[in-house]
Amino acid sequence: MLRRGECVAIPTETVYGLAADATRPDSVARIFAWKGRPAFNPLIVHGSSYEALLPYAHFNPLAERLAKAFWPGPLTLVLPKKETIPEIVTAGHATVAVRVPNHPLTLTLLRELDFPLAAPSANRSGRISPTCARDVMDEFEAFPLGILDGGPCSIGLESTVLYVPQEPDRPPKILRPGGVALETLQAFLGQPIDIESTASPEAGYRSPGLLSTHYAPSKPLHLISPEEPHDPPPRAAWIGYGATTPSGYDKIWNLSTAIDSIEAAPRLFQALRAFDRDPTLLVAYAWEWPEEGLGRAINDRLRRASTKKNLP
């Protein structure tokens, strides 16, 4: 199907992707159409290895070091694109996002193909990313989509998107927090790096996909601080963590009793989807995570999923 230019959903360690031949504009156009994705939001190009991606992006020495250290894995590098990547993939940008996913089935698939795969998360635009084949089916019920079932995603949150500037003295910048923690990148680079703030887009480089609301369930979700006492209304769900759970909620999703963000990550989107599906629940209250490790990425997704900033 992929060789014919069609779309196939593929498993990765982060989330499922909606994949097609990254070198064919017609195939990539189908991804945008099926997802209902705005044309200004560029896609990630997936390859089987660093070497396999060399024909598609310019790697400077820092990008090469990062690729060799973190691939296959949940790190996406934003680098100057080569001519081999059609403009539709990068939404007209001079940069292309590339990564090598760490999933045995998809790595085998990528090695079999003589082209890389453009793949956004396999959800309809603005919805929660799918972390198992069932989720993908729910998203694309009406489409003749082939799904490669590779089981549940081990990380369960999208990759970290890192912009690597060409100037050697400028530090890289995280455009989207994800599966590789800020602390891990800082330790590797031996210097502090910034996370591009979606709230204050000052100078620098922004990820076009972060402009809008994302990851949203269809019902209200509020992000609350664990320190604030909260009296839930009827038919409310709690999405939190820790050894003791608060009372008064009709449904509890404890993402990690040990407050371990790595354990919590693959449960987050599952909880958001289950909340969405349960007709008895009207509203969810999610506890903010400590801003460290994968807690940053979890908070980022929860902030995007939350509807109102003020509680009723």
Residues that bind ligand TXA (CB under 6 A): 12, 14-15, 17, 41-44, 74, 76, 78, 90, 93, 95-97, 101, 119-121, 158-159, 161, 175-176, 207-210
Q: Pick from ligand TXA, Mg ion, none: which does 48 bind, CB < 5 to 8 A by kind?
A: none
How many other CB atoms sit within 10 Å of the CB of residue 167?
7
Nearer to ligand TXA, 110 or 283 (CB): 110
DSSP output for 96-115: EEEE----HHHHHHHHH-SS
**Which residue's CB is nearer to Mg ion, number 106 or number 121?**
121
CB of 119 closer than 8 Å to CB of 9:
no
| Whole-number Å distance between alpha carbons of 305 and 270 | 13
Nearer to ligand TXA, 217 or 240 (CB): 217
State the residue number with the nearest CB to ligand TXA: 209
CB of 126 to ligand TXA, least distance (A): 11
Strands 194-195 and 173-176: parallel
Phi, psi dihedral angles at 87 (to 5 degrees): -60, -35
In the complex, least distance from residue 118 CB atom to ligand TXA, rounded to whole angstroms: 9
Residue 121 or 306: the one with the smaller Cβ distance to Mg ion is: 121
Q: How far is the CB of 166 from Mg ion (least distance, A)?
A: 26
We find the least distance from the C-beta atom of residue 134 to ligand TXA, in angstroms, to be 17
Cα angle value 121/146/134 (rounded, 5°): 60
> Which pair of tokens denotes residue 300?
């980022």
Residue nearest to Mg ion (CB): 121
**Beta bridge pairs of residue 78:** 97, 163
